[in-house]
A = this chain, B = another copy of it.
Amino acid sequence: MTAKPEILKLTKVASSRLFHIESMQLRFSNGVERHYERLRTGGHGAVMIVAINERDEVLLIREYAAGLEEYVLTLPKGLIDPGEDALTAANRELQEEAGFGARELSHIRQLTAAPNYMGHRLEVILARDLYSNKLEGDEPEPLELVPWPMSQLPELFDQAEFSEGRAIAALCLVQQRLSRAG
């Protein structure tokens, strides 16, 4: 395997309330030097929840996505709070966004969003044995809950508004896990 590039210089170049942009001066193992930019990752990571109810439906939400200026269909997700582990964060976010808690939570795998310029990591959590319980979150408006049959994932993946790569990946990974488990 190739040796990692040497980071010659790392500088904060711009910053806002939520984002921090870094400039990286890199020297690759072949001697080539390059100037990259990336978003700095803060916080404690994030979770995305695949919650499956007793009718074998996955709980989707419809929420406003500011990046697209559109309502989108996606999986519940959110940031891990300080002191929380990923499973606890997943159960809290599920209650805030979908109005359900889960008695059974398991970690599926870690996903990245755009590793070339972001360090953000997201833990995919499978939630089962659900019970109705609503927690108040920081949502500006109630989210629409859309239960979708797990037997109809190909039809879901045809929906233009279900476009988030990590959500499609999370459902594929859970389907693979469940089919292996028999």
A140–B37 touching, CB < 8 Å: no
B29–A141 touching, CB < 8 Å: yes
A 145-182 binary contact with B (CB < 8 Å = 1; else 0): 00000000010011010011111111011001000100
Residue A64 at the chain B interface, CB threshold 8 Å: yes
Bound CA–CA A117/B64 (angstroms)? 10
Residue A130 at the chain B interface, CB threshold 8 Å: no
Bound CA–CA A180/B20 (angstroms)? 44
Could you say which residues of chain B place their CB within 8 Å of the CB of A154?
176, 180
Q: Which of B1, B2, B23, B164 contacts A112 (CB 8 A)?
A: B164
- Which secondary structure characterizes the binding site on chain A? mixed
Stretch at the interface among A69-77, A85-93, A98-106: A69-77
Residue A28 at the chain B interface, CB threshold 8 Å: yes
B66–A38 touching, CB < 8 Å: yes
Could you say which residues of chain B place their CB within 8 Å of the CB of A16?
13-14, 21, 23, 37
Nearest residue, chain B, Cβ from A77 = B116
Bound CA–CA A121/B65 (angstroms)? 13
Q: Which of B1, B23, B115, B167 contacts A65 (CB 8 A)?
A: B115
A 125-142 binary contact with B (CB < 8 Å = 1; else 0): 000000000000000110
Q: Which of B38, B121, B160 contacts A110 (CB 8 A)?
A: B160
Nearest residue, chain B, Cβ from A171 = B172
Interface residues of A, Cβ cutoff 8 Å to B: 1-2, 4-5, 7, 13-19, 21, 23-24, 26, 28-30, 32, 34, 36-39, 41, 63-72, 74, 109-122, 140-141, 144, 154, 157-158, 160, 163-170, 172-173, 176, 180
